[in-house]
Structure 1
């Protein structure tokens, strides 16, 4: 929601069906600050129709705390690849939740993205914590 305050447009907040009511409540609660309604959409990473409905590609895809089930990692990386523009950026807030998912996620990401870890000293001191990292990922250009 803070992205809207920075002037970015066409912001779509996504999550799985059980979380959508809470997401919509948070948007409604923050409407006085936001001024206009941001879009929300249900998104399961393995659902190509839902991905297409979002009308990608996007300049920025922002995700946080999304790597925890090994079986879903391939779909997540595939969705990020479809959603972000060739010259776009994936900004990822990351914390290791499950070793197998962690290993598979980075193995798949390295095939698709150039990955840069943001140094902890560059993160805001109030919001950063030692167990979590922030990554900037850009698509590799295939020649």
Structure 2
């Protein structure tokens, strides 16, 4: 019997690469991936690329100011979007679950080996260890974090507790199922939610949510 080597479908090939390279703010960002060990949390999704491009474009156009702003990335995964935000001047805190933290720290150390004064990695289990995040943030970002219905309640709790009036939440995602839209509807009890960008080629939407009141 002939041995047939497995070749992943073309759309999955980027996920199976051990390294991916990107250029933002004129600097190369090297991302280590580990699909076999950590799965979806350790690869770069299109939503993170589109969000990174959006942040850079808006800052360069003078339509968004990140310099010295407190920014939190939820479900950072490989950390691409959070690292781009830091390169754009944000005081960036990149968060994810305990099993992902080691990989996330590795990527930050690779790309910020000379200066980590405005970027930090912290463990965050949505809805659980929120007391260790005492400050409120100017921006909260997330790329492809809306996809598990069972996590919606704790994700909304996390967003509510870590935001203040005028905090901007930027969520970059593909809308794959009705439940994804259901989460955006859930947010509307606490946030004003608008779609601010759509990348037609990648099928990725970016939604901006702004806290309406501290009483909600």
* TM-score range for the pair, normalised by the shorter chain length: 0.7 to 0.9
Q: Is the 8 A contact 2:139 2:170 kept in 1?
A: yes
Superposed displacement of residue 28, structure 1 = 0.8
Deviations 1:44-99 (Å, cap 9, x if unpaired)?
1120xx21212231111011110111111011011011112212100111212443
Q: Any idea what SS the aligned residue of 1:57 has?
A: coil
Gap runs ≥5 in structure 1: none
| Aligned counterpart, 2:48 | none
**Judging changes above 3 Å, is the alpha-carbon distance between structure 1 residues 76 and 3 closer, same or farther for their aligned structure 2 residues?**
same
In the alignment, the residues of structure 2 paired with residue 4 and residue 105 of structure 1 have an alpha-carbon distance, to the nearest angstrom, of: 28
**Is it true that 1:87 corresponds to 2:169 in the alignment?**
no
Q: 2-side partners of 1:55 and 1:36: how far apart?
A: 21
Equivalents in 1 of 2:158, 2:209: separation in Å?
14
Normalising by structure 1, report the TM-score. Answer: 0.81
Which structure has more helix as a fraction of its residues?
1
Distance 1:72 1:119 in 2: 25
1:135 counterpart residue number:
207
Query: Can you give the 5+ residue segments of structure 2 that lack an aligned partner in the other structure?
Result: 1-82
For residue 35 of structure 1, the aligned residue among 115, 124, 129 is: 115
- Mark the CA change 1:132 to 1:58 in structure 2 (over 3 Å): closer, same or farther: same
SS at match of 1:80: helix
- 2:175–2:181 contact (8 Å) kept in structure 1: no
Residue of structure 2 aligned with 1:75, choices 136, 140, 154: 154
Tell whether the 8 Å contact from 2:193 to 2:208 is kept in structure 1 after alignment.
Answer: yes
Shift of 1:25: 0.7
Are 1:65 and 2:124 counterparts? no
Equivalent residue pairs, number? 132
Corresponding residue to 1:54 among 122, 133, 138: 133
- Equivalent positions of 1:5-44 (< 5 A) are 5-9=87-91, 11-32=92-113, 35-36=115-116, 38-44=119-125
RMSD: 2.1
Deviation at 1:119, TM superposition (A): 3.3
